[in-house]
Amino acid sequence: MIVLGLETTCDETAAAVVERDDDGRGRILSNVVFSQIDEHAAFGGVVPEIAARAHVEILDGLIAQAMREAGRHFAELDAVAAAAGPGLIGGLIVGLTTAKAIALVHETPLIAVNHLEAHALTARLTNDLPFPYCLFLASGGHTQIVAVLGVGDYVRLGTTRDDAIGEAFDKTAKTLGLDYPGGPAVERAARQGDPARFALPRPMVGRPDADFSLSGLKTAVRLEAERQAPLSDQDVADLCASFQAAVADMVRDRLRAGLKLFHERFGQPMALVAAGGVASNQVIRALLNASALDGGTVLVLPKPELCTDNGAMIAWAGAERLAYGLTDTLDAAPRPRWPLDSVRKPIEPSVG
Ligand code: ATP
Ligand code: MG
Ligand code: FE
């Protein structure tokens, strides 16, 4: 089956065409992403109104490009999928309405995809990966450890109680006068820094649950920056390195707790899978590898361009749902808040 996928939940506008064969193997026919970073950089973060307008201006052209690069006509689509949430309401309306128009005109099924479900299933697009597996999702808006048991079947084992990890990187960058988005900037600066110079807190470490908390760490960075002001380049590098080391320690500990919870409830996971922009951080990637090995499981790390927001993951989640006949009606509503564990499940139990 061939599915067109649209992504407009935040500050990426994206369209992609993917194919899923009868054995469940995936192939990306096209994957076009326009990142609005330049539009938002001056504000140090995503401005919802600017994002919504940019989606409107760009999306049609991206869809045409995705179809052209895939070498397919609309008539050949088996479905059109759009991310219907969670995300910023303006962008959701743009993507979902566009998908509905295509569904209506070309008489093809609509699939309203949960953006988090798309992150959760992406690894199966490029890997032969059976259920169940343990997902670590760390992006600008989310930080979760999820048991992925089947299509539509997710159990959240841990989540952040305040900021997401990516958001903490972004805010730390802002505090220290580095560029937006902060993740890559902090990682770069940290390479020249001493991770042991500042003793920053490691919130949540040692707890039996698998939750995260970033706000105390973020505040500690700000207070330390104020204490050291004016900041030299070395101070900034040392603060970045110390912050990143604290995050890494927390992630290591939280993953250990999360994998333990997984094991107790669902047995041995087939893999530890990472997704989200934070998973492109080299220090985090190294510890993910070690954490997986520790738990006696393999690490599956999709390519960075499939970890961050993209259309292929939406198209793929659409294809996985279509395989179970899980389509939506044209009155499907955008859902700014849409917890992963509340998506509709297939009636048939899922198979690997
Ligand atoms: P969501 O997927 O939750 O809707 P999002 O679209 O903002 O949010 P992504 O595009 O997956 O998330 O990732 C962007 C986030 O990842 C930003 O917060 C960014 O700072 C962070 N990030 C990107 N690269 C790195 C890196 N090398 N190290 C740490 N964080 C990073
Ligand atoms: Mg983004
Ligand atoms: Fe995302």
Tens digit of each residue's pLDDT (9 = 90 or more) over 28-64 = 999 999 988 888 888 877 889 888 999 999 999 999 9
Residue nearest to atom 7 of ligand 1 (CA): 140
Q: Which residues are annotated as a binding site for substrate?
A: 137-141, 170, 183, 187, 281
- Least trusted range by pLDDT, from 30-44, 60-74, 212-226, 301-315: 30-44
| Segment 314-322 mean pLDDT | 98
Tell me if 141 CB under 6 Å of ligand 1: yes
Q: Enter the tokens of residue 282.
A: 């080299």
Q: Which residue has the tokens 């992630």?
A: 251
Ligand with smallest separation from the Cα of 164 = 1
Q: Ligand 2: distance of its center to the CA of 28 in Å?
A: 20
Looking at the whole model, is its pTM more than 0.90? yes
Q: Ligand 3: distance of its center to the CA of 116 in Å?
A: 7
Determine the Cα–Cα distance for residues 300 and 124; give it in Å rounded to an integer: 10
Residue nearest to atom 3 of ligand 1 (CA): 141
Are 172 and 185 contacting, i.e. CB atoms less than 8 angstroms apart? no
Determine the Cα–Cα distance for residues 314 and 191; give it in Å rounded to an integer: 34
Tell me if 278 CB under 6 Å of ligand 1: yes
Burial class (CB in 10 A: 0-12, 13-18, 19+), 23: exposed
Ligand 1 atom showing the smallest separation from residue 307 Cα: 11
What does the mean pLDDT of the chain come to?
Answer: 95
- Rounded CA Rg of the chain: 20
DSSP structural state of residue 161: S
Tell me if 90 CB under 6 Å of ligand 1: no
Q: Ligand 1: distance of its center to the CA of 145 in Å?
A: 16
Q: Enter the tokens of residue 126.
A: 């490029």
Given ligand 1 and candidates 47, 186, 278, which is best to mutate, with the most ligand atoms within 8 Å of its CB?
278
Are 83 and 316 contacting, i.e. CB atoms less than 8 angstroms apart? no
Say what the ipTM of the complex is. Answer: 0.97
Tell me if 150 CB under 6 Å of ligand 1: no
Three-state secondary structure string covering 203-230: CCCCCCCCCECCHHHHHHHHHHHHHHCC
Tell me if 91 CB under 6 Å of ligand 1: no
Tell me if 26 CB under 6 Å of ligand 1: no
Nearest Cα neighbor of 342 from 153, 211, 164 is 153
Q: Ligand 2: distance of its center to the CA of 323 in Å?
A: 28
CB count in 10 Å sphere of residue 350: 16
Tell me if 7 CB under 6 Å of ligand 1: no
Amino acid at 231: L
Ligand with smallest separation from the Cα of 142 = 1
| Segment 101-121 mean pLDDT | 97
Size of the chain, expressed as the number of residues it contains: 352
Q: For residue 295, is pLDDT > 90? A: no
Given ligand 1 and candidates 35, 218, 308, which is best to mutate, with the most ligand atoms within 8 Å of its CB?
308
Q: For residue 337, is pLDDT > 60? A: yes
Are 61 and 47 contacting, i.e. CB atoms less than 8 angstroms apart? no
Nearest Cα neighbor of 269 from 352, 149, 154 is 149
Q: Which residues are annotated as a binding site?
A: 115, 119, 137-141, 170, 183, 187, 281, 309
pLDDT at site 286: 93
Tell me if 40 CB under 6 Å of ligand 1: no
Q: Ligand 3: distance of its center to the CA of 66 in Å?
A: 20
Assign 289 to helix, strand or coil: helix
pLDDT at site 75: 97
Q: For residue 348, is pLDDT > 80? A: no
Handedness of CA 275, 279, 284, 286 (dihedral sign): positive
pLDDT at site 352: 47
Over the stretch 240-264, which tens digit does the pLDDT of each residue have? 999 999 999 999 999 999 999 999 9
* CA angle in degrees (0–180, nearest 5) for 303-328-352: 50
| Higher per-residue confidence, 47 vs 146 | 146
Residue nearest to atom 5 of ligand 1 (CA): 140
| Confidence grade of residue 350 (pLDDT, cut at 50, 70, 90) | low
Tell me if 182 CB under 6 Å of ligand 1: yes
| Segment 110-123 mean pLDDT | 97
